[in-house]
Amino acid sequence: MRVSRLERVGTYLVLAVFTLSALFPVLSIVATALRPEVVGQGGWRPENLATAWTVGHFGGYLRNSAIVSVSVVLVSAVLSVLAGYALGTMRFRGRGVLFALLLLGIMVPSEALVVPLYFDLRDLGLTNTYLSLVLPQVAQSVAFGAFWMRAFFLASARELVEAARMDGAGHLRTLWSVLLPLARPAVITLVVLVFLWTWNEFMLALVMATDEGLRTAPLGLRFFAGRATTSVPVLAAGSVLVALPVVLLYLVLQRHFIRGMLDGAIKG
Amino acid sequence: MAAGEQRGARRRRPAGPPGEPRRVGYLYLLPALVVHALFLLFPLARGAWISLFDWDGLTLGRWVGWENYRALVADAGLRAAFGHVAVLLVFFSVLPIAVGLVLATALHRTRVRGLAFFRTALFLPQVVAMVVVGVAWRNIYAPNGSLNRALRSVGLDSWATSWLGDADTALVAVGFVGTWVQTGLAVVLFLGGIGRIPHESFEAARLDGAGVVWEFRAVVLPALRAEIGIAATLTTIAALRTFDLVYVMTPLGGPGRSTTVPAYEIYHRAFHSGQVGSAAALGVALTALTFLITMGIARITREERAR
Task: Give chain A's domain count.
Answer: 1
Q: Which domain range does residue A258 map to?
A: 47-267
Tens digits of residue pLDDT in B247-256: 999 988 888 8
CA geometry: angle A227, A230, A232, nearest 5 deg: 135
Q: Looking at CA atoms only, how far is residue A177 from chain B in angstroms? A: 17
The partner residue sitting opposite A247, judged by closest CB among B46, B119, B127, is: B127
How many of the other CB atoms lie within 10 Å of CB of A24? 14
Provide the pLDDT for residue A1. 53
Chain-centroid distance, C-alpha B238: 2
Beta-carbon separation of B40 and A217 below 8 A: no
How many of the other CB atoms lie within 10 Å of CB of B228? 21
Beta-carbon separation of A218 and B131 below 8 A: yes
The partner residue sitting opposite A109, judged by closest CB among B35, B127, B290, is: B290
Average pLDDT of chain B? 88
Provide the pLDDT for residue A203. 94
Provide the pLDDT for residue B23. 84
Residue B135 has pLDDT above 80, yes or no: yes
* Nearest to A250, CA basis, from A238, A265, A261: A261
Q: Which domain range does residue B267 map to?
A: 67-306
Across B263-267, average pLDDT = 94
Task: Give chain B's domain count.
Answer: 1
Tens digits of residue pLDDT in B158-193: 888 889 988 889 999 999 999 999 999 999 999 989
Q: What are phi and psi of B24, to 5 degrees?
A: -60, -15
Q: Report H helices in A34-57.
A: 47-54
Q: For residue A229, tell me if it sits in a domain.
A: yes
pLDDT-derived band at B14 (thresholds 50, 70, 90) equals: very low
CB A175 within 8 A of CB A206: no
Q: For residue B134, tell me if it sits in a domain.
A: yes
Across B52-60, average pLDDT = 91
ipTM, two decimals, is: 0.92
Question: A45: which DSSP letter?
Answer: -
Provide the pLDDT for residue B18. 53
Residue B27 has pLDDT above 80, yes or no: yes
Q: For residue B34, tell me if it sits in a domain.
A: no
Chain-centroid distance, C-alpha A69: 8
CA atoms within 13 A on the CB side of A25: 26
Q: Measured between alpha carbons, how far is A135 from B42 in angstroms, rounded to an integer?
A: 13
Q: For residue A30, tell me if it sits in a domain.
A: no
Distant-in-sequence, close-in-space partners of A165: CB < 8 Å, separation ≥ 6:
A174, B17, B18, B19, B20
- Of all residues in chain B, what percent carry a pLDDT higher than 90? 58
Element housing A58 (H / E): helix A58-89
**Residue B241 to residues A109, B246, B264, Cα–Cα distance (Å):** 7, 11, 9
Element housing B120 (H / E): helix B115-123
Residue of chain A with shortest Cα separation from B58: A119
Dihedral over Cα of A61, A246, B36, B24: its sign: negative
Q: Compute and round to an integer the Cα radius of gyration of chain A.
A: 23
Q: For residue B37, tell me if it sits in a domain.
A: no
The full length of chain A comes to: 268
Provide the pLDDT for residue B89. 95
Provide the pLDDT for residue A155. 85
Provide the pLDDT for residue B1. 38
CA atoms within 13 A on the CB side of B282: 29
Across B91-110, average pLDDT = 93
Name chain A contacts of B283, Cβ cutoff 8 Å: 111-116
Which chain A residues in 181-220 lie under 8 Å from chain B, judged by CB atoms? 196, 199-200, 202-203, 206-207, 217-219
Q: What is the CATH number of the domain that holds B237?
A: 1.10.3720.10
Q: For residue B43, tell me if it sits in a domain.
A: no
CB B161 within 8 A of CB B148: yes
Helices A58-89 & A130-155 angle (0-180, nearest 10):
40
Tens digits of residue pLDDT in A38-88: 877 778 888 999 999 999 899 999 999 999 999 999 999 999 999 999 999
Tens place of pLDDT per residue across chain A (268 aa): 567 888 889 889 999 999 999 999 999 999 999 999 887 777 888 899 999 999 989 999 999 999 999 999 999 999 999 999 999 988 888 899 999 999 888 888 888 899 999 999 999 999 999 999 999 999 999 999 999 999 999 888 678 888 888 888 888 888 888 889 999 999 999 999 999 999 999 999 999 998 889 999 999 999 998 887 778 999 999 999 999 999 999 999 988 888 888 776 654 3
Q: Looking at CA atoms only, how far is residue B158 from chain A in angstroms? A: 24
The partner residue sitting opposite B20, judged by closest CB among A85, A165, A254, is: A165
Provide the pLDDT for residue B86. 94
Provide the pLDDT for residue B17. 55
Name chain A contacts of B22, Cβ cutoff 8 Å: 90-92
Chain-centroid distance, C-alpha B109: 29
Q: Note whether A226 contacts B: Cβ–Cβ < 8 A.
A: yes
The DSSP bridge partners found for residue B54 are B62
Q: Looking at CA atoms only, how far is residue B135 from chain A in angstroms? A: 7
Provide the pLDDT for residue B5. 44
Q: Looking at CA atoms only, how far is residue A109 from chain B in angstroms? A: 6
Across B52-72, average pLDDT = 92
Provide the pLDDT for residue B4. 43
Beta-carbon separation of B47 and A136 below 8 A: no
Q: For residue B19, tell me if it sits in a domain.
A: no
pLDDT-derived band at B13 (thresholds 50, 70, 90) equals: very low
CB B246 within 8 A of CB B240: no
* Nearest to B82, CA basis, from B247, B245, B270, B285: B285
Exposed e or buried b per residue across A74-100, where buried means at least 16 C-beta atoms within 10 angstroms of its C-beta:
ebbbebbbbbbbbbbbbebeebeebbe
CB B41 within 8 A of CB A140: no
Q: What is the CATH number of the domain that holds A185?
A: 1.10.3720.10
Helices A5-33 & B130-141 angle (0-180, nearest 10):
90
Exposed e or buried b per residue across A37-73, where buried means at least 16 C-beta atoms within 10 angstroms of its C-beta:
eeeeeeeebeebbebbbeebbbebbbebbeebbebbb
Name chain B contacts of A80, Cβ cutoff 8 Å: 32
How many of the other CB atoms lie within 10 Å of CB of B175? 22
Beta-carbon separation of A136 and B21 below 8 A: no
Beta-carbon separation of B33 and A101 below 8 A: yes
Tens digits of residue pLDDT in B196-241: 888 888 888 888 877 888 888 888 999 998 899 989 999 999 999 9
The DSSP bridge partners found for residue A266 are none
Q: For residue A51, tell me if it sits in a domain.
A: yes
Residue B276 has pLDDT above 90, yes or no: yes
Across B127-151, average pLDDT = 93
Residue of chain B with shortest Cα separation from A225: B135
Q: For residue B3, tell me if it sits in a domain.
A: no
pLDDT-derived band at B9 (thresholds 50, 70, 90) equals: very low
* A17, burial (CB in 10 Å: exposed 0-12, middle 13-18, buried 19+): exposed
Q: For residue A150, tell me if it sits in a domain.
A: yes
Q: For residue A23, tell me if it sits in a domain.
A: no
Q: Measured between alpha carbons, how far is B140 from B134 in angstroms, rounded to an integer?
A: 10
Q: For residue A33, tell me if it sits in a domain.
A: no
Residue B6 has pLDDT above 60, yes or no: no
Residue B2 has pLDDT above 60, yes or no: no
Interface test with B, best of A102, A115, A241 (most B CBs within 10 A): A115
Q: Note whether A90 contacts B: Cβ–Cβ < 8 A.
A: yes
Long-range (24+ apart) CB contacts under 8 A made by B286-293 are B286/A109, B286/A111, B286/A112, B286/B240, B286/B241, B286/B262, B287/A107, B287/A108, B287/A109, B287/A112, B287/B44, B289/B240, B290/A107, B290/A108, B290/A109, B290/B237, B290/B240, B290/B241, B291/A107, B293/B233, B293/B236, B293/B237, B293/B240
**Residue B28 to residues A177, B6, B19, B42, Cα–Cα distance (Å):** 17, 18, 17, 21
Q: Looking at CA atoms only, how far is residue A151 from chain B in angstroms? A: 15
